[in-house]
Amino acid sequence: MQQNILTEIDAGVGIVTLNRPERHNAFDEAMIDELSEALLSMASDPAVRVVVISSIGKSFCAGADLGWMQRAANYDFEQNRRDAGMLAEMLRRIAECPKPVIARVQGPAYGGGVGVIAACDIAVATFEARFALTEVKLGLIPAVIGPYVVNAIGERYARRYMLTAEVFSAAEAYRLGLIHEMVADEAALDAAVGEWVEAILKNGPQALGEAKALIRAIAGQPYSAALIADTVERIARVRVSPEGQEGIAAFLEKRSPNWVA
C-alpha cells in the first residue's frame, strides 16, 4: 500500500514529502492524519532542527481530493466540524512547530495547498508554480486556511484572490509575500532550500523555537505596557538559559557554539 506521506531525517533536517502524485497530492482524511502525525513527530524529535515540506510529482498540492469532497457532501454538521478540525490541527502543527518549517514548492498549489505554504515559515517555488484559492467556485469558503493566508498576503489581497478564485503566478505569489523566493527549476529549488537549511543550522535550536513563539505573541498586537513586559520577560529567560549562555560565551571567545556541527 502506498504511503501518503514519506519522512526522512538527514543531518538535522526532517523531510516530509507529500506522496500522492497520481492525485496531485490532494488531501483526504488519511493524508491529513499522516501529515499531522509526521509533523508532531518532527516537532518532538531532538534530531530534527529544521523541517522541509515537499511533494513528489507535477503538483505541490491540489487542495481537497475529489473523493474526500464526495464523502464530505454526505456528512452532517458535526461530521463536517470534526473533518475540518483535522485540517485545522494539521495547519496549526505546521505554524506552531518549534522548528523552522520550509515549503519546497515545485508545482501548482490550490486551496489547502496554499494554506500549507502560508502556514510555513519560509517558502520557495519554481517560476512555473501556480496558485489559487478556488473554494468559492464550489460554493465553499477557505475558512480553515484563512488565518494563515490572510497573515501571509494581507487582507486586501485575500479579498481579491478568495473572491475571484483566479489563478496567480509565482511572481505574483512572491510580490504578495506568499513565497519568499522564485527559482528557475527543481535543481535551483533544492539549492535555495539547502542555503536556508545551512543558515538555520547555525542558529540556536531553542532560540529558533523561542523566536517563532515571539512572533506569534507580538504579531498584530498594539504597542502596550503588557507587550513590553512580555518581551522583557522573554529575553531575560532566554539569556539565562544554557543555550543563551553558550551562545554569548562562544561569541566572546570567538568560537562556534556547541550546536554548530
The 3-state secondary structure of 152-218, one letter per residue: HHHHHHHHHHHHHCCCEEHHHHHHHCCCCEEECCHHHHHHHHHHHHHHHCCCCHHHHHHHHHHHHHH
Taking residues 172-195, what's their average pLDDT? 97
Residue 41's identity, in one-letter code, is S
How many Å from the N-terminal Cα to the C-terminal Cα in the chain? 38
Burial class of 88 by CB neighbour count within 10 A (0 to 12, 13 to 18, 19+): middle
Q: How far is CA 159 from CA 137, 142, 163, in A?
A: 15, 11, 6
pLDDT of residue 207: 96
- pLDDT above 60 (res 1): no
pLDDT digits (tens, 9 = 90+) for 15-62: 999 999 999 999 999 999 999 999 999 999 999 999 999 999 999 999
CATH architecture entry for 5-200: Alpha-Beta Complex (3.90)
- Listed in sequence order, the residues at least 6 apart from 8 whose beta carbon sits closer than 8 Å to its beta carbon are 14, 15, 17
Q: Between β-strands 13-18 and 50-55, what pairing exists: parallel, antiparallel or unpaired? A: parallel
- pLDDT above 90 (res 141): yes
**Residues labelled as active-site residues:** 135
Domains in the chain: boundaries: 5-200, 205-252
Cα atoms in the 13 Å half-sphere on the side-chain side of 40: 8
pTM for this predicted structure: 0.95
pLDDT of residue 247: 96
Q: Closest Cα to residue 60, out of 115, 10, 139, 3? A: 115
pLDDT digits (tens, 9 = 90+) for 68-90: 777 877 888 998 899 889 999 99
